[in-house]
Structure 1
C-alpha cells in the first residue's frame, strides 16, 4: 500500500517569516475533514529571538471560506524542540488545560516541530463544522521562518490518491 493511499499532505501556511516586519501574524488556510477521520497540524519553525515566543492557534469553520469561525480546543501537543533539531530524537508530549492555543514559552531561540492531532469527531459537526485551520501569531521583530502543514489520515472512503488530492479543500 502506498502512503498516499492513507495520508494526504496539504499546506496550512507556506514558509514565511512570522516577524512584524514581514506582515506579522499569519492566518492559515482551512482544510476539510469531510473525507478524513484525523488531522495532524504540524508547525515547523527556525530559531528566533529571545522573548519573541510563537503561538499556534487552531480554529474550526463551516467551510473553506471561514464561515462562523470558532475555537477548536485541544489539550495535547507533541514537540521536538532545541537549538539543533538534528540532535532531537524523541517527541515530548505536553498536556495543557483544553484551549485553542499553545505558546512556546521555553525558548523562542529554539528550532521546533509541534504536532497537534485533531480527531474529526472533536469538531462541532452537529452544527455543520467541517473545516480546521492552524494560524501563527506575530512573534515580534526578529526573523522566525516557519510553516504549517496538514497531514490528513484515515480516509473515510477508498479512492485513488489523485482523486483524494482534489477533495482537501
Structure 2
C-alpha cells in the first residue's frame, strides 16, 4: 500500500514513443526504451478518426540497447482497446490474437482509438540480452490524414529514488 503515497514521477516513467503525427506521412518508428530499471511497460497508442482502409498496424520490436542493436520481433497476444468516440466508451475491450509482434484493428480506421499493449520485462528475450522495446506504426496509406500519438508507461521501478530512472539510456 505504500506505493499509493508515492508521486507518479517517483515510481513511474512516461516516455513519448511517437509525438502527435499524421500517420499517413511516413513510417512512424517510436523511440527505443529500456526496461533494465523497470518491471513492466505499457504502450499506449491514441488515434483520431481517419478514413476507411487506413487501419493502423501496430508492431513491437525488442533489442539489446536503446540504439536498436539486433532488433527482432516481440510477440504479444493481448491488446486492450477502446474504438469509437472516446467520451462514450467507459471500458476497454480485450482482444486476443495468436502470438505475433503485429496487430491490426480492421475496424478502427474510421474511428477514434485507444490501444494498450503491456509487457513484463521477462517477456523479452532476457537470456540473450534483450531489454529494450520499440513501437512502430507504418504509414497508414494515402486515403486521408489520421493523427496518432503514443506513450510508453514504465512501472515497477527496481530502485527507489526521488525520480524514476531514465528509460531512454542503457
Cα distance in structure 1, aligned partners of 2:48 and 2:108: 12
- Aligned residue for 1:52, secondary structure, equals coil
Q: Post-superposition shift, 1:30? A: 0.4
Cα distance in structure 2, aligned partners of 1:72 and 1:146: 21
Structure 1: tracts of 5 or more residues without a match: none
Give every structure 1 segment of 4 or more consecutive aligned residues whose post-TM-superposition deviation is greater than 3 Å.
165-168
Aligned to 2:81: 79
Q: Write the mapping of 1:48-87 to structure 2, written as runs, cut at 5 A.
A: 48-82=50-84, 84-87=85-88
8 Å CA contact retained: 1:51, 1:107: no
- Aligned residue for 2:29, secondary structure, equals coil
TM-score (norm. length: structure 2):
0.92
Structure 2: tracts of 5 or more residues without a match: 1-5
Cα deviation code 1:129-151 (max 9, x no counterpart): 11001110211111010111000
Q: Post-superposition shift, 1:106? A: 1.5
Q: How many residues align?
A: 163
Cα RMSD for the two superposed structures: 1.1
TM-score (norm. length: structure 1):
0.93
